[in-house]
Amino acid sequence: MSTLTHFDSAGRAAMVDVSSKDVTVRSATARARITMQPATLALIQSGTAKKGDVLGVARLAGIMAAKRTADLIPLCHPLPIDAVNLELTADPAGPAVEIAATVRTTGRTGVEMEALTAATIAALTVYDMCKSADRAMRIEAVRLTAKDGGKSGAFRQE
Protein backbone atom coordinates (compact mmCIF):
# COMPACT_ATOMS: atom_id res chain seq x y z
CA MET A 1 0.00 0.00 0.00
CA SER A 2 2.71 2.50 0.93
CA THR A 3 6.41 2.92 0.30
CA LEU A 4 6.84 4.39 3.79
CA THR A 5 8.72 1.96 6.01
CA HIS A 6 6.58 2.27 9.15
CA PHE A 7 3.41 0.83 7.59
CA ASP A 8 2.59 -2.78 6.80
CA SER A 9 0.91 -3.98 3.59
CA ALA A 10 -2.51 -3.16 5.06
CA GLY A 11 -1.50 0.41 5.90
CA ARG A 12 -1.22 -0.16 9.65
CA ALA A 13 1.59 1.38 11.70
CA ALA A 14 4.35 -1.15 12.31
CA MET A 15 7.87 -1.25 13.69
CA VAL A 16 10.41 -1.98 10.97
CA ASP A 17 12.00 -5.43 11.26
CA VAL A 18 15.75 -4.81 11.30
CA SER A 19 16.78 -8.33 12.29
CA SER A 20 18.26 -9.12 8.87
CA LYS A 21 20.29 -5.89 8.65
CA ASP A 22 24.03 -5.91 9.21
CA VAL A 23 25.44 -4.47 12.41
CA THR A 24 27.48 -1.43 11.39
CA VAL A 25 28.85 1.74 12.96
CA ARG A 26 26.26 4.46 12.49
CA SER A 27 26.20 8.16 13.30
CA ALA A 28 23.92 11.12 12.79
CA THR A 29 24.14 14.86 13.43
CA ALA A 30 21.15 17.13 13.87
CA ARG A 31 21.08 20.89 14.39
CA ALA A 32 18.70 23.40 15.90
CA ARG A 33 18.78 27.12 16.55
CA ILE A 34 17.03 29.13 19.23
CA THR A 35 16.81 32.86 18.58
CA MET A 36 16.35 35.39 21.37
CA GLN A 37 16.78 38.97 22.45
CA PRO A 38 20.38 40.18 22.81
CA ALA A 39 19.87 40.64 26.57
CA THR A 40 18.82 36.99 26.90
CA LEU A 41 21.93 35.77 25.13
CA ALA A 42 23.99 38.03 27.39
CA LEU A 43 22.42 36.36 30.46
CA ILE A 44 23.30 32.93 29.06
CA GLN A 45 26.88 33.92 28.23
CA SER A 46 27.50 35.61 31.59
CA GLY A 47 26.09 32.66 33.55
CA THR A 48 23.63 34.93 35.38
CA ALA A 49 20.36 33.37 34.23
CA LYS A 50 18.10 32.72 37.24
CA LYS A 51 18.09 28.95 36.72
CA GLY A 52 21.89 28.63 36.39
CA ASP A 53 24.23 27.29 33.70
CA VAL A 54 21.86 27.27 30.73
CA LEU A 55 24.20 25.70 28.18
CA GLY A 56 25.50 23.06 30.61
CA VAL A 57 22.01 21.97 31.63
CA ALA A 58 20.81 21.98 28.00
CA ARG A 59 23.78 19.80 27.03
CA LEU A 60 22.86 17.24 29.71
CA ALA A 61 19.18 17.36 28.72
CA GLY A 62 20.10 16.62 25.11
CA ILE A 63 22.25 13.65 26.13
CA MET A 64 19.48 12.28 28.33
CA ALA A 65 16.93 12.78 25.54
CA ALA A 66 19.00 10.84 23.00
CA LYS A 67 19.00 7.88 25.39
CA ARG A 68 15.20 8.07 25.84
CA THR A 69 14.15 8.50 22.20
CA ALA A 70 12.53 5.07 21.92
CA ASP A 71 10.35 5.98 24.93
CA LEU A 72 9.13 9.14 23.19
CA ILE A 73 8.67 8.10 19.55
CA PRO A 74 6.43 5.04 19.27
CA LEU A 75 8.09 3.09 16.42
CA CYS A 76 11.75 3.83 17.23
CA HIS A 77 13.94 0.91 18.18
CA PRO A 78 15.64 1.11 21.57
CA LEU A 79 19.32 1.37 20.69
CA PRO A 80 22.57 1.00 22.59
CA ILE A 81 24.00 4.50 22.31
CA ASP A 82 27.80 4.50 22.07
CA ALA A 83 28.26 8.28 22.27
CA VAL A 84 26.33 11.55 22.34
CA ASN A 85 28.02 14.90 21.79
CA LEU A 86 26.22 18.22 22.03
CA GLU A 87 27.77 21.52 21.06
CA LEU A 88 25.91 24.66 22.08
CA THR A 89 27.40 27.84 20.66
CA ALA A 90 26.37 31.43 21.30
CA ASP A 91 25.86 33.44 18.11
CA PRO A 92 25.76 37.16 19.00
CA ALA A 93 24.86 38.07 15.41
CA GLY A 94 21.63 36.07 15.71
CA PRO A 95 21.27 36.58 18.56
CA ALA A 96 20.88 32.85 19.05
CA VAL A 97 22.24 29.62 20.44
CA GLU A 98 23.27 27.13 17.76
CA ILE A 99 22.95 23.47 18.75
CA ALA A 100 24.62 20.47 17.11
CA ALA A 101 23.92 16.96 18.41
CA THR A 102 25.91 13.96 17.18
CA VAL A 103 24.94 10.42 18.19
CA ARG A 104 26.85 7.21 17.47
CA THR A 105 25.97 3.54 17.81
CA THR A 106 27.00 0.14 16.53
CA GLY A 107 23.78 -1.51 15.48
CA ARG A 108 21.26 -2.53 12.85
CA THR A 109 19.49 0.83 12.47
CA GLY A 110 20.48 4.47 12.45
CA VAL A 111 20.43 7.16 15.11
CA GLU A 112 18.84 10.02 13.16
CA MET A 113 15.87 10.24 15.53
CA GLU A 114 18.16 10.22 18.56
CA ALA A 115 20.18 13.13 17.16
CA LEU A 116 17.03 15.09 16.27
CA THR A 117 15.57 14.44 19.72
CA ALA A 118 18.78 15.54 21.42
CA ALA A 119 18.97 18.82 19.47
CA THR A 120 15.29 19.59 20.03
CA ILE A 121 15.29 18.86 23.76
CA ALA A 122 18.46 20.92 24.22
CA ALA A 123 16.68 23.84 22.51
CA LEU A 124 13.57 23.34 24.64
CA THR A 125 15.75 23.36 27.75
CA VAL A 126 17.31 26.68 26.75
CA TYR A 127 13.78 28.02 26.30
CA ASP A 128 12.62 26.66 29.66
CA MET A 129 15.59 28.08 31.53
CA CYS A 130 15.26 31.55 29.94
CA LYS A 131 11.52 31.97 29.44
CA SER A 132 11.19 34.28 32.44
CA ALA A 133 13.50 36.73 30.65
CA ASP A 134 12.28 36.23 27.06
CA ARG A 135 9.04 34.50 26.09
CA ALA A 136 9.54 35.48 22.42
CA MET A 137 12.42 33.02 21.84
CA ARG A 138 11.99 30.86 18.73
CA ILE A 139 13.22 27.34 18.12
CA GLU A 140 14.08 27.12 14.43
CA ALA A 141 15.81 25.11 11.75
CA VAL A 142 15.66 21.70 13.41
CA ARG A 143 17.12 19.35 10.80
CA LEU A 144 19.29 16.33 10.14
CA THR A 145 22.60 17.51 8.70
CA ALA A 146 24.61 14.29 8.49
CA LYS A 147 24.16 10.53 8.58
CA ASP A 148 26.69 7.74 8.11
CA GLY A 149 26.51 3.97 8.15
CA GLY A 150 24.05 1.36 7.05
CA LYS A 151 22.89 0.30 3.61
CA SER A 152 21.80 3.77 2.51
CA GLY A 153 25.28 5.22 3.15
CA ALA A 154 26.18 8.83 3.81
CA PHE A 155 23.87 11.85 3.79
CA ARG A 156 24.88 15.53 4.12
CA GLN A 157 22.98 18.81 4.13
CA GLU A 158 23.38 22.18 5.82
**Would you name the residues annotated as active-site residues?**
128
Q: Is the CB of residue 62 less than 8 Å from the CB of residue 48?
A: no
Tell me the angle at which helices 38-46 and 54-67 cross, rounded to the nearest 10 degrees: 90
Task: Give the three-class secondary structure for 100.
Answer: strand
Spatial separation of the C-alpha atoms in residues 76 and 113, rounded to whole Å: 8
